[in-house]
Amino acid sequence: MSDSFLTSLVNAAADGIITIDDSGIVGMFNPAAEKMFGYTAAEVIGQNVSMLMPAPYRDDHDAHITRYLTTRTPHVIGIGREVIGRRKDGSPIPLALALSEIEPGRGFTGILHDLTTRRTLEARLASIQIEERARVARELHDGLGGHMTGCALLAKALCAKLEEEHSPLAPRARDLLKTIAEGHQVVRSVVRGLMPVEAGPEGLTTALKDLAAQVELSSGIKCRLEVRDPVYLDNRVTAKHLFLIAQEAVTNAVRHAAPSLIEIGLTQLEDRIEMRVSDDGRGIGRDGEIGKGFGLEGMRQRARLAGGDLVVSPKPGGGTMVGCWIPWPEQPR
C-alpha cells in the first residue's frame, strides 16, 4: 500500500487522526482533527500533544507515556476510552479515543471521535430529568407538605380539646398527631431525595456539609468537608451531578473500604471546579479495578454529563482517591 494512498485515507477520514512520537510530539494532524480542535496542522505538528488537553490531563500526559514505555502496562493504549480534549479557544471537547502503538520506538496513533452531539443530548435529557424532579419536589413540599401541616394543626387542637375534657379518645388523638408527624417526615425525606441541593450559589457546599454530618452520625466513621475558599456554583444541574458523585463515592467508602476517615474536598479554580473524595481504607489497585458494584461508571457518566471527567486511583499512603473535575459553567442551568 503506497504512502500516497494511506495519506488520502487519513485526509478523508471523518474522525481525527493524530500521531505522536515517544516524547509526545505530534507528527500528523489530519483535516478532521483540524476541524475538531480549531488548530491548523502547522500550529500543532512539532508541538507536544498535551496542548490539546485541558488541565489536569496536560500535566500528567508525559508521565503516562513514560510509565507505559517502562512497564508496558496499558492505561489507555490499546484499550480505548472517553477523554476530554481542549479546543484552540480553550473550550472542552468530549472525545472517544482509540490509541495504539505503531511499533516499539516509532510512537503512537490516536483516532478521535467527537462526542459533542451525543453528550449535548445526554446532558439535555439529564437536565430535563433534574428540573422535573425539582418541580415534583416543590409540589410535594408546598402542596402535600403544606396540607399535612394544616392537618397537624387541626389534630393538635383536637388533641388539646379532648385532653381538656378528659376524653377517653385523647390517646387516639395523640396517635393521630404522631402519625401525621411521621408522614410529614416521610414527605421531607422524599423531597430531600428529589432535590438534595438547594437552589443558590452555596447550595452545593451546604449539601456536602450535611452529607458529611449524616455519614458520620449514621456510620460512626469520621467524615469531613474541606473547602479552603468559598465555592459559588449557581447551576443546579451541575451542582446535583457533583453532589451525587460525592454521595456515591462516600457510600462506597463506607460499605467497602472500612476506613477510619473520609475526606471531601471542593476547590474552585479559574476554569474548573475540582472535587475529591478520599479515604484511608483498604484501597484498590490501579484505576478502574473496583468492580461494577462500586458505581464507577455511574459516577464517570455524571462527570461527563457536566463536561468533565472522573478518575479513581490509589491514595498515597493507603486508601482510595476519587477525583472529579468539571469546566466552570458559564450560565446557570
Q: What's the pLDDT tens digit per position in 85-133? A: 999 998 889 999 988 877 766 788 999 999 989 888 887 887 788 788 8
Local confidence band at 70 (pLDDT 50, 70, 90 cut-offs): low
Whether residues 219 and 281 fall in one domain: yes
Q: Can you give the pLDDT at residue 212?
A: 94
d(CA 298, CA 109): 29
- Spell 159-178 as b/e; 16+ CB within 10 A means b: beebeeeeeeebeebbebbe
Q: pTM for the whole thing? A: 0.69
Whether residues 123 and 148 fall in one domain: yes
N-to-C CA span, the chain: 52
Return the bridge partners of 147, or none: none
Neighbours of 297 (CB within 10 A): 11
Q: Is the pLDDT of residue 4 over 90?
A: no
Return the bridge partners of 98, or none: 111
Taking residues 4-30, report their average pLDDT: 87
d(CA 93, CA 114): 7
Whether residues 18 and 35 fall in one domain: yes
Whether residues 138 and 105 fall in one domain: no
Q: Can you give the pLDDT at residue 63?
A: 58
Domain boundary among the residues 141, 167, 194 is at 194
Whether residues 248 and 299 fall in one domain: yes
More confident site: 285 or 239: 239
Nearest alpha carbon to residue 21 among 78, 57, 65: 65
Whether residues 96 and 151 fall in one domain: no
More confident site: 167 or 2: 167
Q: Can you give the pLDDT at residue 244?
A: 92
Q: Is the pLDDT of residue 332 over 60?
A: no
d(CA 54, CA 327): 9
Domains in the chain: how many in total? Answer: 3
Q: Can you give the pLDDT at residue 301?
A: 87
d(CA 52, CA 50): 5
Q: Is residue 282 part of a domain?
A: yes
Domain boundary among the residues 194, 214, 234 is at 194
Q: Can you give the pLDDT at residue 172?
A: 92
More confident site: 11 or 249: 249
Distances (CA, A) of 236 to 19, 180, 240: 40, 31, 6
Taking residues 269-297, report their average pLDDT: 73
If you ran DSSP here, which 8-state letter would residue 167 be given?
Answer: -
Length of the chain: 333
In sequence order, the 6+-apart residues with CB closer than 8 A to the CB of 67 are 73, 75
Local confidence band at 305 (pLDDT 50, 70, 90 cut-offs): confident
Neighbours of 256 (CB within 10 A): 17
Whether residues 8 and 74 fall in one domain: yes
What DSSP line would sit under 32-69, residue for residue?
HHHHHHS--HHHHTTSBGGGGS-TTHHHHHHHHHHHHH
Local confidence band at 289 (pLDDT 50, 70, 90 cut-offs): very low
Return the bridge partners of 262, or none: 223, 279
Domain of 140 in residue numbering reads as 119-194
d(CA 51, CA 55): 10
Backbone angles phi, psi at 111, to 5 degrees: -110, 125
Whether residues 124 and 144 fall in one domain: yes
Q: Is residue 333 part of a domain?
A: no
Whether residues 154 and 246 fall in one domain: no
Cis peptide before 94 (omega within 30 of 0): no
Q: Is residue 332 part of a domain?
A: no
Whether residues 209 and 320 fall in one domain: yes
d(CA 180, CA 174): 10
Q: Can you give the pLDDT at residue 43?
A: 95
- What's the CATH number where 97 sits? 3.30.450.20
Domain boundary among the residues 81, 114, 147 is at 114
Whether residues 125 and 238 fall in one domain: no
d(CA 121, CA 109): 29
Local confidence band at 333 (pLDDT 50, 70, 90 cut-offs): very low
Whether residues 187 and 146 fall in one domain: yes
Q: Which three cell numbers stand for residue 22?
A: 515517544
Average model confidence (pLDDT) for the chain? 84
Q: Is residue 153 part of a domain?
A: yes
Local confidence band at 76 (pLDDT 50, 70, 90 cut-offs): low
d(CA 58, CA 68): 17
d(CA 97, CA 75): 12
Amino acid type, 16: G
In sequence order, the 6+-apart residues with CB closer than 8 A to the CB of 275 are 242, 245, 246, 264, 265, 266, 267, 323, 324, 325
Local confidence band at 213 (pLDDT 50, 70, 90 cut-offs): very high
- What's the CATH number where 303 sits? 3.30.565.10
Q: Can you give the pLDDT at residue 293?
A: 47
Q: Can you give the pLDDT at residue 291?
A: 44
d(CA 148, CA 182): 10
Helix crossing, 203-219 with 236-252: angle to 10°?
Answer: 20
